[in-house]
C-alpha cells in the first residue's frame, strides 16, 4: 500500500512557489484517488497559515470514495479551500480528491457535501456531533481609528453542527440547545451535568454529556 502511495505521489506531485494564491484543476487519479494539481504563486503577505495542523509529520489513513484505504506518512488540512494534502518535499505537495474520510492525529474527518467536518461524537442512533474548522483573514487594524493598515493574518474559527437524517443542522453550544438535543432524557442529563459540574459551553464537556445520554 505504501509503495502504491509513493508511486501515485511521484506521478502526481505538485511543485509549489510562494504560498499564497491557490489555483487548481482536476486531473485523473489512481485506485479511486483523484488528484488536483495546485500551483501556489505570489508572495505571501498574510501571516499565519491556512493549514489546521501545526506539524505535517503525522501518519494518517485516507479513505477513498470506492472504499479503499491508503496509509500516508504525513497529512494536513487546508481549511481555506477544504482539502487534505500530503507534503512530499519542502516545496511539493500532493492534494487528495475523491476521498470521503480521513483519520489523522487522533481525529476523524468526514466529507459531507463539499466540505470536511471533524467528527466529535457519533451517537448510538448514528447522529453525529461535528465541528467545522474555518480560516478567515483578519486584516491589521489601526489601534485608534480601526482602519485597515495591513493584510493581517489568518485566524481559525469553529462552527458546530448536528448531522442527522442526512441533514446538517447548525448547532450553537448552549444549555437550551444541548438539552433540546437530548430531549427524551433532558431531566436526567441536566441532573448529571450539575453533579459532574460539566459545562454546556466546553467542547470536551458537551461530548461527555452526549456520551452519558447514550447510556440512558
pLDDT at 33 (0 to 100)? 57
CA 103 to centroid of chain Cα atoms: 10
pLDDT at 88 (0 to 100)? 81
Could you tell me if 60 and 103 are in contact, meaning their C-beta atoms sit under 8 angstroms apart?
yes
SS3 139: strand
pLDDT at 14 (0 to 100)? 38
DSSP secondary structure letter of residue 153: E
Q: Which long-range contacts (CB under 8 A, 24 or more apart) does 191-195 make?
A: none
Which cell goes with 169?
Answer: 443542522
Neighbouring-strand partners of residue 78: 51, 83
CA 130 to centroid of chain Cα atoms: 10
Segments of the chain with pLDDT less than 70: 1-44
Query: Which residue ranges make up each domain of the chain?
Result: 2-171, 172-216
Element housing 69 (H / E): strand 69-72
What residues contact residue 156 under an 8 Å CB cut-off, 6+ apart?
52, 79, 133, 134, 135
pLDDT at 171 (0 to 100)? 97
pLDDT at 82 (0 to 100)? 94
Could you tell me if 160 and 172 are in contact, meaning their C-beta atoms sit under 8 angstroms apart?
yes
| Positive or negative: CA dihedral 215, 176, 131, 98 | positive
Amino acid at each position: 500500500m505504501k509503495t502504491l502511495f509513493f508511486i501515485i505521489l511521484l506521478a502526481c506531485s505538485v511543485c509549489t512557489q510562494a504560498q499564497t494564491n491557490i489555483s487548481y484543476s482536476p486531473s485523473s487519479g489512481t485506485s479511486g484517488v483523484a488528484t488536483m494539481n495546485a500551483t501556489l504563486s505570489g508572495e505571501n503577505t498574510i501571516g499565519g497559515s491556512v493549514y489546521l495542523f501545526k506539524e505535517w509529520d503525522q501518519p494518517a489513513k485516507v479513505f477513498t470514495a470506492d472504499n479503499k484505504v491508503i496509509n500516508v506518512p504525513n497529512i494536513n488540512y487546508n481549511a481555506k479551500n477544504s482539502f487534505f494534502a500530503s507534503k512530499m518535499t519542502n516545496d511539493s505537495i500532493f492534494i487528495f480528491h475523491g476521498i470521503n474520510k480521513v483519520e489523522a492525529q487522533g481525529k476523524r474527518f468526514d466529507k459531507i457535501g463539499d466540505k470536511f467536518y471533524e467528527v466529535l461524537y457519533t451517537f448510538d442512533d448514528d447522529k453525529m456531533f461535528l465541528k467545522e474548522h474555518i480560516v478567515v483573514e483578519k486584516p491589521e487594524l489601526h489601534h485608534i481609528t480601526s482602519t485597515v493598515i495591513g493584510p493581517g493574518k489568518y485566524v481559525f474559527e469553529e462552527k458546530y453542527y448536528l448531522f442527522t437524517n442526512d441533514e446538517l443542522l447548525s448547532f450553537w453550544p448552549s444549555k437550551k440547545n444541548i438539552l433540546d438535543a437530548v430531549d427524551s432524557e433532558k431531566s436526567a442529563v441536566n441532573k448529571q451535568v450539575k453533579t459532574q459540574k460539566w459545562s454546556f459551553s466546553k467542547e470536551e464537556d458537551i461530548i461527555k454529556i452526549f456520551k452519558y445520554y447514550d447510556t440512558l
